[in-house]
Structure 1
Amino acid sequence: MATLNGAIRSYGAAVRRMEREQQRNARESAKRFKEQQKLEEIENAQQAVSDWENYVDTIQSLHKNCTEQIDWKQIENTKKPIEPLLDSKNEVIAKSKLNNFKPSILDKIFGSTQKKITRLNGLLGQAKIKDQKTYDVNYKEYLDELNNWKELQEINTGIKNNETDFYKKALQYFNPFSDIGELGTQISFNFEQNHIDIDLHVNSLDVIPDYELKQTSTGKLSKKNMPKSRFNELYQDHICSASMRIAREVFAYIPIDYARINAVAKIINTKTGHLEEQPILSVIFPPETIDNLNLETIDPSDSMQNFVHNMNFSKTKGFSVVEKVELER
């Protein structure tokens, strides 16, 4: 049976596999961190330190991973799947054996001719069933691929026509934000013709470890409270890294001019004294500026200086509420 080639195989399958792998890595890192928090005594000091370091690296390195740029032209040129035909090869073989059956002298002597013919007829029936089952599986795969092909073609046409509903459908189809969600972050977004406005509902401070693990020269585990300034800086890096990652994922799928990412967190409203969701970071990311950065070596927080942004942060107090950056007109 002919299967979808090119884009659907590359993007519908490979991209999703990569996203699942990233999601799995983030999930495992978060899981090990949570398990570590519950342990009163940690037996394997070296492994504990390694898990802690990996988790800390994960939460401030989200911007380094991103889906490859989607080639919508390649998707557009992908051929429509071909409907499979019923392949009766097993039936042909079984029918040939039945038609070519010639009873031997012993068959005639012992009267087993009819028994063997009945058996061959039974095998013929089984062969037909086997061929039909194979066809049914192939046809189901064909329908799945056809639906995928139709959906991607529809999305591609909508994107070419700058229809914002299809921008949203593209993100829903590929679901590129899965591994960020594993760390507790959720997003809501609104598309305009040339940009996207995203509210990033960020993690509570619980996502940041409040302790540091180190292995002493004697091999023992040293666990100390993380300094408040270090804790706040790590949280800042996490928020900035997640914000840039969100923008990069959008640009990988959608040809828009810029993305405004608003990191929103529950923070005390000094007027009411209550916890309320308010912006703590607002950034306008143009794709070309991100492309010019060395994402492997940048400090996520320092890199915000490359963009129009609002962020009020201090090492001692952490984030303060800011206004959303005004969108370009």
Structure 2
Amino acid sequence: MRSIAAAARAAERDAQRRHKQNQKEQMIADSTSAVEDWENYIDNLVSIHTDMADMIDWHTIAGQPRPSEPFKRNDNSDRAAMALAKFKPSFFHALRGGSAKLRSRLEAQIEEAAVRDRKQYEDALTAHAKAVAEWEDDTALAKRLVTGEATAIRQVIEEMQSLSETALVGTAIEFSIDRNFVHAKPKVHGDDIVPSMRRKQLASGRLSETKMPVGQFNELYQDYVASAALKTAGDLFHILPLKEIYVTCTANMLNSQTGHQEWTPILSVQFVRDSFMRLNLSSIDPSDSMRNFRHAMKFSKTKGFAAIEPLEPVTANQGALLQAP
């Protein structure tokens, strides 16, 4: 009995050790996952600009030739006629019902083949008419865009729903549009989009959460706002043939004079296509990259953003703002 009891106690201790080991492993896995989730969120927050809209080459579209007219083909008829021409009666044909019956069948197949050829040609004509209509629409829009027509610019922006979808960029985007000119004004999220706590995994495997320092918190929010500005400009450069894009980010901030929350401009940038396209977007620091462009920003690590006066173009109707072919 003593031996049985000792064995039972040993088995219980072993089970408790395994339970504690499993608990520790689960704790470590949960901590690792929590830190990875936090790091991924931070990375996504400051790399919005790395995911751009597809590029559209409006100059190439404007110069596309009219779709070629379809040719009337007789492939089916030709094959059926060739089969009839090669037909030679034989002893085996007689066994299958007579050569005359087989010849009639081949002749009927020629008529059926002609019907198929006509149907294929009619389908080709229908497809061609659709292609011509699309070509006329696309080239007409492209020609209006490359001449800087404001209504064409607005049409393209309105059709690109991704520019106005609620996402990390913000809650909405407003546009000022004139000939050869776009000024995008995204309403970015407030600084509450930045986590107030930092996460890291201790040597023991446990999760540690500490309050994020003010300087790091403000710099992360600055990078988020700059990334939103880069994303907005990049999407517009990709879908419009413009040489310059103005972007002014506004945030809902407290006006100390009125005591009310107001949409306030905090970053305004004049993006130039040539300089923008030379950026290595996956490697830049978003806020540091603003130095490549004329911009207005008042920021300090201790206080964050302050209100600014948005940039305005020298001349809204300046013809040089169009991208050269």
After TM superposition, the score normalised by the length of structure 1 is 0.64
Residues 170 and 250 (structure 1 numbering): CA distance in 2 closer, same or farther, change over 3 Å?
same
The residue that corresponds to 2:83 in the other structure is none
The residue that corresponds to 1:227 in the other structure is 212
Amino acid in the other structure paired with 1:224 = E
Aligned match of 2:269 in 261, 272, 283? 283
Aligned match of 2:149 in 163, 176, 185? 163
Select between 244-253 and 43-52 the one with higher mean Cα deviation. 43-52
The residue that corresponds to 2:201 in the other structure is 215
Backbone CA RMSD of aligned residues = 4.5
1:313 aligned onto 2:299: yes
Q: Answer yes or no: is the 8 Å Cα contact 2:181–2:244 preserved in 1.
A: yes
Q: Per-residue deviation at 1:152? A: 2.2
1:254 aligned onto 2:240: yes
**Structure 2 unpaired stretches of 5+:** 1-26, 72-118, 316-325
Residues 102-135 of structure 1: CA distance to partner in whole angstroms, max 9, x if unpaired? Answer: xxxxxxxxxxxxxxxxxxxxxxxxxxxxxx9xx9
**Partner SS state of residue 144, structure 2:** helix
Q: Per-residue deviation at 1:279? A: 0.4
**Structure 1 unpaired stretches of 5+:** 1-40, 86-131
Amino acid in the other structure paired with 2:166 = G
**Partner SS state of residue 44, structure 1:** helix
Partner Cα distance (2:187, 2:229) in 1: 10
**Partner SS state of residue 283, structure 1:** strand
1:181 aligned onto 2:166: yes
Q: How many matched pairs? A: 287
Residues 74 and 256 (structure 1 numbering): CA distance in 2 closer, same or farther, change over 3 Å?
closer
The residue that corresponds to 1:322 in the other structure is 308
Aligned match of 1:46 in 32, 48, 55? 32
Q: Per-residue deviation at 1:178? A: 5.0
Residues 81 and 313 (structure 1 numbering): CA distance in 2 closer, same or farther, change over 3 Å?
same
Q: How does 1:57-68 map to 2 (within 5 A)?
A: 57-67=43-53
Q: Answer yes or no: is the 8 Å Cα contact 1:180–1:242 preserved in 2.
A: no
Q: Per-residue deviation at 1:242? A: 1.0
Partner Cα distance (2:157, 2:282) in 1: 25
Q: Answer yes or no: is the 8 Å Cα contact 2:59–2:146 preserved in 1.
A: no
1:238 aligned onto 2:224: yes
Partner Cα distance (2:70, 2:185) in 1: 45
Residues 192 and 212 (structure 1 numbering): CA distance in 2 closer, same or farther, change over 3 Å?
same
Partner Cα distance (1:308, 1:143) in 2: 48
**Partner SS state of residue 66, structure 1:** coil
**Partner SS state of residue 159, structure 1:** helix
Q: Per-residue deviation at 1:161? A: 2.6
Partner Cα distance (1:160, 1:259) in 2: 15
Q: How does 1:104-123 map to 2 (within 5 A)?
A: none
The residue that corresponds to 1:202 in the other structure is 188
Q: Per-residue deviation at 1:144? A: 7.7
Amino acid in the other structure paired with 2:153 = Y
Residues 175-228 of structure 1: CA distance to partner in whole angstroms, max 9, x if unpaired? Answer: 27459732251211122223211111111223222222222333x452424424
Q: Per-residue deviation at 1:239? A: 0.4
Q: Answer yes or no: is the 8 Å Cα contact 1:211–1:223 preserved in 2.
A: no
Amino acid in the other structure paired with 1:46 = T
Partner Cα distance (1:287, 1:141) in 2: 38
Q: How does 1:51-90 map to 2 (within 5 A)?
A: 51-67=37-53, 69-78=55-64
Q: Per-residue deviation at 1:68? A: 5.1
Residues 325 and 42 (structure 1 numbering): CA distance in 2 closer, same or farther, change over 3 Å?
farther
Residues 24-65 of structure 1: CA distance to partner in whole angstroms, max 9, x if unpaired? Answer: xxxxxxxxxxxxxxxxx9963323322222221111112233
**Partner SS state of residue 155, structure 2:** helix
Partner Cα distance (1:139, 1:51) in 2: 55
